[in-house]
Amino acid sequence: MSLTTALKKFLPIASGGSDSETDARSGDFGAKTPLHSRLHVWWRTSSSWEDAMTNDVRRATRRDGQSAARSDDETDSASGARSAMEERGSGVGAAAPGEDPAGGHWSPARIAIHETLFGNGEIRPGGPRRTRDIVSGLSLGKNMNVLHIGAELGGAARVIAMDHHCRITGFEADPDLARAAMASQRIAKSLGNANDGAPRSKASIDLHDLVRVSHADLEHLTLEAKSYDCAIAREVLHTLGDKASLCRAVFDALKPNASFLITDYFVAEGAENSPQSHGWIAREPRSMYPCTFGEARKLLTDAGFQLRSVANITPQHRSDIFNSFARFVVAHERGGVAPDLIEPLLELAELWTNRVAALDAGTVEVCKLVAVRGKA
């Protein structure tokens, strides 16, 4: 059973009571048994997903009537997703006809769906915890200038800025994501400057000055030479046809001894022309140009970088995916899911099911690379 099928079977429609159609799909078991137990039964009968569940998710799905354990950051992030979208001028709702909620053109409704699942300012699983884990070895410090390629909604950039007091210059290829990111920044600043007598966090005021996200063509970036102390690109390379241009632009923009951190999807060596690889690419909502790790290493060395470290983070990525969906289900145990959110949610689940299948087949892996510019 795919994740999409499971969500369609186990998630009730928000109506203040059980939904007859949902109950009919689930049978007597679905109508009478708490969602945590129903979901756990599905996981137990689906070995691929069962093997991937982390201990946190196992405990969460076995505690009827309790919410999944999560960090303060994750709780704040998820709870603020809907309100952030409303501030930006859109509620959560189904995509307009012709739109694909899984990706492509980022409508306000599509952004809302992702933030509801992954947290405020996020369109990928993992949230602040994974961001902190990924950048933990970069020795970031106060007043450093950080270049963020593929800044998306700016959630990760804001986490880094708040934690390390860095100045983040972000570039995002999608204009709608870039606009939404800066809208969130303006909201934070207006909350910090509101004159209603309520105490305001200094961090919310300073954050607007620390983070900038702009729309840009990532294959034709024009950056000031030797002006950045660090560069970060998360899941960007596989979306670019001309990866070499980006690598050269980042190299020229970094100061001597500065690091370039990359996380991305890579096709396993020898699987470039496999049916599984082509199937994964064909089911993605946007054009993709994934490369192997060997090809990525050559791109970096040709640009002048020295590769410092490599780590396969596929298990962590898979865990983040499962945790996100499990927490979403647990959080909606009592209230159900708004009718206009169900179908877009299922399409998003199908997208991530396809990605998990590629990871499980060994066709695709997620890796973290850290390269250094050197002293020149």
On average, the pLDDT of the chain sits at 76
Nearest to 168 by CA among 145, 187, 149, 135: 145
Predicted confidence (pLDDT) per residue in 186-237, tens digit: 665 555 444 444 444 555 546 668 999 999 999 999 999 999 999 999 999 9
Maximum mean pLDDT: which of 32-36, 138-142, 273-277: 138-142
Angle at the Cα of 362 (from 358 to 368), degrees rounded to 5? 90
Pairing of strands 306-312, 364-372: antiparallel
pLDDT at 189: 59
Pairing of strands 228-234, 254-267: parallel
Q: What type of residue sits at position 323?
A: N
Q: What is the pTM of this model?
A: 0.76
Cα–Cα distance, 141 to 5 (Å, whole number):
46
Nearest to 263 by CA among 238, 299, 246, 289: 238
pLDDT at 4: 57
CB of 212 within 8 A of CB of 162? Answer: no
For 32, other C-beta atoms within 10 Å of its C-beta total: 12
Predicted confidence (pLDDT) per residue in 341-374, tens digit: 777 788 888 899 899 999 999 999 999 999 999 8
Maximum mean pLDDT: which of 65-69, 91-95, 346-350: 346-350
pLDDT at 199: 47
Dihedral of alpha carbons 324, 123, 231, 261, sign: positive
Q: Which of 57-71, 168-182, 301-315, 356-370 has the lowest mean pLDDT?
A: 57-71
pLDDT of 94 higher than 50? no
Predicted confidence (pLDDT) per residue in 296-340, tens digit: 999 999 999 999 999 999 999 999 998 998 888 888 777 777 777
Pairing of strands 228-234, 145-149: parallel
Q: Which residues pair with 369 in a beta bridge?
A: 262, 310
- What token pair was written down for 7? 């969500």
Cα–Cα distance, 22 to 8 (Å, whole number):
8
CB of 151 within 8 A of CB of 157? Answer: yes
Q: Mention every residue, 6+ apart, whose C-beta is less than 8 A from residue 311.
A: 367, 368
Helices (H), 127-226: 127-135, 155-164, 175-193, 202-210
Nearest to 207 by CA among 163, 172, 171, 162: 162
Cα–Cα distance, 175 to 179 (Å, whole number):
6
Predicted confidence (pLDDT) per residue in 22-56, tens digit: 333 333 434 445 444 544 444 444 444 444 444 44
For 256, other C-beta atoms within 10 Å of its C-beta total: 10
- What token pair was written down for 141? 């410090």
